[in-house]
Amino acid sequence: MPPHEQATATPGDAYDLLVIGGGINGVGIARDAAGRGLSVLLCEQDDLGGATSSASSKLLHGGLRYLEQFQFRMVRHALAEREVLLASAPHIVKPLRFVLPHNRAIRPYWMLRVGVFLYDRLARRATLPDSRALDLRAGRDPSPLCPEFDRGFEYSDCWVDDARLVVLSAVDARARGAEIRTRTRCEAATWTGDGWNVALRDTGTDSTWNAQARAVINAAGPWAERVATETLGLRSSYRSKLVKGSHIVVPRLFDDERAFILQNDDKRIVFVLPFERDFTLIGTTDVPYEGDPGAVEIDAGEASYLCDIVRNHFDVSIAPEDIVWSYSGVRPLYDDGSSSASKLSRDYILEPHTGTDGALRAMTVWGGKLTGYRLLTEAALERLAATFPEMGPAWTADAKLPGGDLHPTGIERFTHMLTQVYDWLPSELATAYAGRYGALSHTVLGNGASLDSLGPELAPGLYGREVDYLMRHEWAQTADDVLWRRTKLGLWADSASIERVADYMQASQSTTSAANP
């Protein structure tokens, strides 16, 4: 059944596990649990990855700066996960080289050298190359940095399309039997003695229904504390501290394909990343946040802060008025008492909620990093082993995400093959499809025989056939879902294009509703 045609569940439907929250942790847990044989219902109050999980720096990285905070365990695990995720989703995860210039005023050169040495050796690497020292004055290591940054280091991490990582995990969860319901809010849950009675509301139709679950996992991200205490009526020993991180996107600043990691005077680091062919992505900030996580947005001070850092490191002209897109997310970090938002731990805590008999009834996920989400999901399922003794073993380490089965061709050869099969497909469009859908590109393109077979071009690079696919298979319901999360084509879309996408989707939804009264 197409995701946007969510069936009206029968009151009293029973599941093994209810997952609240459709960010990366929630969909990861739903996918892992479904693959172990549990019946799973996931509810997300908005779009999949619609909050924090689509507002990251788009990196899978160990976190070089966390070595300075002695978080070696977290860094080691994250470094190993880069290779796991690169193998499971080579269409949306790509190796990326980073330049770390030495700033004499911030950290001594020896400290950077020790840091990258440890970074190389904390986890085994199968594909990512070693770090190396750079003489930025030499011809073989040219860089767009200002002349005073004359030496540094180059090392490897990975880039990821964060929103697609969420959606593809949900697609796989559904394929393994999980029920994924977007725009569905968990209004209340009551423990009945042998399970949970859950009240759910479809925020689009305002209809309500009930379900039962043997256990609940609260993976609501910035809303986790509220869900734990108000929705589930649980007592918690932990608190989260909300931290806003903002990014800006500007027209491409230089032609270097490497990313840059800049050390600022306040001891924070900022990434400058090549982004979507024509742009540069800059971020992030770390600002304590209070208020509605769904209403977060960048402020003028953050925009100026990021522009200033770039101007201080590169001989480029950049000002807030050059920003073509910005996004902000609220990171729900475990409150460990740190006075600085930058020093709060990015590691996760799984808080069990047990009954008087000691049996696990629910679990709340606190904190976590995008890179470590798969390890978090495994740990969460291990905690549920006593509740679900019938559950299967861990399996995700060697599993491909949908579209990721490109072996042995690789993404570049697959893209070339796509242009051979569909010889009418422009190479730029083939590259885009391969990078979003991987091996599923054939499903998107179908038996198309010409560019006209893709339907109307609703926005630059966006055709009706792709929108149909996203609505039918990936839960897209709004223009934002398509333009900013399933794709990044909003960067090229003007107001007329956005309106065309919205009108097309509305017409498609109306046609579907009429065909399925």
What pLDDT digit, counting tens, does each position of 54-98 carry? 999 999 998 887 777 777 788 888 888 999 999 999 999 999 999
- In a domain, residue 6? The reply is no
Are 318 and 420 members of one domain? no
Asked if residue 339 lies in contact with residue 330, where contact means CB atoms within 8 angstroms, the answer is: no
Asked if residue 236 lies in contact with residue 229, where contact means CB atoms within 8 angstroms, the answer is: yes
Q: How far apart are CA 488 and CA 247, in angstroms?
A: 15
**Residues of the chain by 3-state class (helix, strand, coil), percent to 5:** 35, 25, 40
Are 172 and 194 members of one domain? yes
pLDDT classification of 513: cutoffs 50, 70, 90: low
Which amino acid type is present at position 420? Q
- In a domain, residue 195? The reply is yes
Contacts of 192 (CB under 8 A, 6+ apart): 212
Contacts of 48 (CB under 8 A, 6+ apart): 22, 23, 27, 163, 166, 167, 170, 180, 182, 475, 485
**Gyration radius from the chain CA atoms:** 23
What pLDDT digit, counting tens, does each position of 276-311 carry? 999 999 999 999 999 999 999 999 999 999 999 999
CATH code for the domain in which residue 34 is found: 3.50.50.60
Q: What is the dihedral of CA 437, 438, 444, 447, to 10 degrees?
A: 170
Which residue has 């091996």 as its token pair? 439
What pLDDT digit, counting tens, does each position of 389-423 carry? 999 999 999 999 999 999 777 899 999 999 999 99
Q: How far apart are CA 25 and CA 348, in angstroms?
A: 11
Q: For residue 33, what is the DSSP state?
A: H
CATH code for the domain in which residue 441 is found: 1.10.8.870
What confidence score (pLDDT) does residue 333 get? 81
* Sign of the dihedral through C-alpha 359, 364, 366, 370: positive
Mean pLDDT for 149-165 is 95
- In a domain, residue 1? The reply is no
Asked if residue 21 lies in contact with residue 160, where contact means CB atoms within 8 angstroms, the answer is: no
Q: How far apart are CA 109 and CA 153, in angstroms?
A: 10
Are 232 and 246 members of one domain? no
- In a domain, residue 180? The reply is yes
Q: How far apart are CA 59 and CA 128, in angstroms?
A: 14
Are 147 and 272 members of one domain? yes
What confidence score (pLDDT) does residue 7 get? 41
In 296-373, the DSSP E strands lie at: 325-334, 348-354, 360-367
Are 255 and 150 members of one domain? yes
- Strand partners for 273: 281
* Sign of the dihedral through C-alpha 433, 437, 438, 444: negative
Q: How far apart are CA 110 and CA 140, in angstroms?
A: 23
Q: How far apart are CA 387 and CA 214, in angstroms?
A: 8
| Cα angle value 298/149/323 (rounded, 5°) | 25
Contacts of 294 (CB under 8 A, 6+ apart): 46, 51
> Among 492, 498, 65, 434, which residue's Cα sits nearest to residue 249?
492
Are 202 and 251 members of one domain? no
Are 215 and 290 members of one domain? no
Percentage above 70 pLDDT, the chain: 94
State how far Cα 95 lies from the chain centre.
16
Q: At what angle do helices 24-35 and 373-383 cross, to 10 degrees?
A: 50
How many other C-beta atoms can be found within 10 angstroms of the C-beta atom of residue 212? 18
Mean pLDDT for 473-483 is 98
Q: How far apart are CA 462 and CA 484, in angstroms?
A: 12
What pLDDT digit, counting tens, does each position of 32-44 carry? 999 999 999 999 9
- In a domain, residue 7? The reply is no
pTM summary value: 0.94
- In a domain, residue 405? The reply is no
pLDDT classification of 191: cutoffs 50, 70, 90: very high
What confidence score (pLDDT) does residue 430 get? 97
Q: Are strands 179-181 and 59-60 parallel, antiparallel or unpaired?
A: unpaired
Please say if the pLDDT value at position 349 is more than 60. Answer: yes
How many other C-beta atoms can be found within 10 angstroms of the C-beta atom of residue 21? 29
Asked if residue 319 lies in contact with residue 307, where contact means CB atoms within 8 angstroms, the answer is: yes
In 394-447, the DSSP E strands lie at: none
- In a domain, residue 2? The reply is no
- In a domain, residue 5? The reply is no
Are 245 and 201 members of one domain? no
pLDDT classification of 515: cutoffs 50, 70, 90: very low
pLDDT classification of 155: cutoffs 50, 70, 90: very high
Asked if residue 141 lies in contact with residue 302, where contact means CB atoms within 8 angstroms, the answer is: no
pLDDT classification of 11: cutoffs 50, 70, 90: very low
Q: How far apart are CA 380 and CA 373, in angstroms?
A: 10
Are 153 and 246 members of one domain? yes
What confidence score (pLDDT) does residue 3 get? 43
Q: How many domains does the chain have?
A: 3
Q: How far apart are CA 401 and CA 232, in angstroms?
A: 32
pLDDT classification of 480: cutoffs 50, 70, 90: very high
* Of 286, 309, 337, the domain-final residue: 337
pLDDT classification of 5: cutoffs 50, 70, 90: very low
Are 74 and 223 members of one domain? no
Q: For the chain, what is the mean pLDDT?
A: 91
- Which residue range is the domain that position 219 belongs to? 13-52+164-239+345-398
